[in-house]
Structure 1
Amino acid sequence: MASILPSHLLHHHHLRCSALAAIPNRFFYLTLSSSSRTKSAFSASQNEFASLGDLEFEAPLKIAKYPDPKLRKKNKRIGTFDDNLKKLVDEMFDVMYETDGIGLSAPQVGINVQLMVFNPVGERGEGEEIVLVNPRVGKRSLNRTIYNEGCLSFPGIRGDVKRPEYVKIDALDVKGKRFSVSLSGLPARIFQHEFDHLQGILFFERMADEVFDSIRGQLQALEIEYEEMTGFPSPEKIESRRTRKVPSGFGKS
């Protein structure tokens, strides 16, 4: 079984949750347990599920950069498990590998559904490719670790983020079969970053105030770039932000 990355190394390990150079397989711990239950085990009202139109896409996929409003839109649950979903997953892995990434969420490529892919090794054909559909967090550790995170949706921007060292989640695979997965070390960090994307939460909202202040100018530069590229006002303004809006756990409240 692979060993867990020692805690004294975690603090010094620079992480780009959507764009990280390959990390050796020995640096993470991952266990999977399948269940015979299918997608019907996840209760949700019908209007929360994505339509076929919500899952339409054109290849090649492109990364949505802050402050693209797609990064803040509600991400619907997936209830259709067909060839189109498999193609979407394949395309997301393509984008991830092409950008030297180890994880990617659907809203980051402009598709607002509850879907993420990742491979902690970051190399096609190596490590383990994980696909999580409609993921939910079960347990998480009280111990938290700081990593220096970055994100493809925030090119060139990095900052320390404190997150739980361990999480246990329930999800569906690309065929609609339910399973549980326990993650620690790097995979836990990747999952939490991408899970935040599925909640419309961006990594700077998890930063301590002093860390956030250190990247404020870079975020404003991305807002200006968006306005120049689209001709529209930025949908959000860092200059008007006074305090962080989300707690240190999962979700918005």
Structure 2
Amino acid sequence: MSIPPLSQRNAASPLKKQQQRLQKTEDLCFKLPLKIVEYPDPVLRARNKRINTFDDGVKELVHEMFDIMYKTDGIGLSAPQVGINVQLMVFNAAGERGEGEEIVLVNPVIYKASKKTTLYNEGCLSFPGILADVQRPASVKIDARDITGAKFKVNLSGLPARVFQHEFDHLQGTLFFDRMSKDVLDSVRSELKALEKKYEERTGQPTPERVDDYEGIKVVAGFS
């Protein structure tokens, strides 16, 4: 990634900047089977564009995301976790096909989070084998669109609220260890470093980030 010259950044109008953040047709192109992107792949930190085209491509992507989520024993999955940088998530707190409720959220926005927080031992498909305590608001109120583009509101609490917040973080380029306390982060540091080494061996490139560069919580238990 490179930063454009200052003259170019100043020349971009607010409208042009907004258009750059909207999904284009090619942003939803994907190859099957989908694969889970693991830390520290830079796609997990990239900006995710808002979806503005609700067509069969979105429906197919949702279907395939649920499929790989169930196959990998997940209960939630965001588009960047399968290498597609758009604002889309799917989840089912039951974690079983045919059970619970399948939820699809497009371009979600949190407009209220509870002051009460809870601690929970979280895992993440992009961090295989790693479990750690993360503090999050106990409930959230959300604006979003469904798979057809229709706007709706939803209130979530308990496990569904936690799953949503975990996936929402992915859409912001935030990873769950960003929210861990220093002590908790230290408890999984060696496992994160092992994933960094695995990335370097697989790609032949230096890891794009290192957990040793972190000093503790970088994100507060809330949302902007």
TM-score (norm. length: structure 1): 0.80
Which residue in the other structure is 2:65 paired with? 92
The structure with higher relative contact order (CA 8 Å, sep 6+) is 1
Report how far residue 200 of structure 1 moved.
Answer: 0.3
For 2:174 and 2:132, the matched residues in 1 are separated by: 15
Letter in 2 for 1:111: I
SS where residue 93 of structure 1 aligns? helix
2:35 aligned with 1:62, yes or no? yes
Aligned 1:1-253 pairs, distance under 5 A:
45-251=18-224
For 2:216 and 2:179, the matched residues in 1 are separated by: 11
For 2:109 and 2:189, the matched residues in 1 are separated by: 31
For 2:21 and 2:152, the matched residues in 1 are separated by: 21
Report how far residue 160 of structure 1 moved.
Answer: 0.4
Report how far residue 128 of structure 1 moved.
Answer: 1.1
Q: Percent identity?
A: 65
For 1:241 and 1:187, the matched residues in 2 are separated by: 29
Report how far residue 237 of structure 1 moved.
Answer: 1.1
Report how far residue 139 of structure 1 moved.
Answer: 1.1
Letter in 2 for 1:49: L
Report how far residue 240 of structure 1 moved.
Answer: 2.0
Counting strand residues as a fraction of each chain, which structure ranks higher? 1
For 1:45 and 1:241, the matched residues in 2 are separated by: 31
Which residue in the other structure is 1:6 paired with? none
For 1:244 and 1:70, the matched residues in 2 are separated by: 21
* Contact 2:180 2:216 survives alignment (8 Å): no
SS where residue 136 of structure 2 aligns? strand
SS where residue 142 of structure 1 aligns? coil
For 1:53 and 1:188, the matched residues in 2 are separated by: 31
For 1:71 and 1:125, the matched residues in 2 are separated by: 29
SS where residue 99 of structure 2 aligns? coil
For 1:67 and 1:87, the matched residues in 2 are separated by: 27
SS where residue 181 of structure 1 aligns? strand
Counting helix residues as a fraction of each chain, which structure ranks higher? 2
1:76-115 per-residue CA deviation (whole Å, 9 max, x = no partner) reads 0000000011000000000011111111000000000000
Figure out how many residues of one structure are paired with residues of the other and give that number. Answer: 208
1:199-225 per-residue CA deviation (whole Å, 9 max, x = no partner) reads 000000111110011111111110000
Structure 1 unpaired stretches of 5+: 1-43
List, as ranges, runs of 4+ consecutive aligned residues in structure 1 with deviation greater than 6 Å.
Answer: none
For 1:101 and 1:153, the matched residues in 2 are separated by: 10
Structure 2 unpaired stretches of 5+: 1-16
SS where residue 145 of structure 1 aligns? strand
Q: Note the aligned Cα RMSD (angstroms).
A: 1.0
Stretch deviating more after TM superposition (122-131 or 217-226): 122-131
Letter in 1 for 2:175: L
SS where residue 136 of structure 1 aligns? strand
Report how far residue 249 of structure 1 moved.
Answer: 0.8
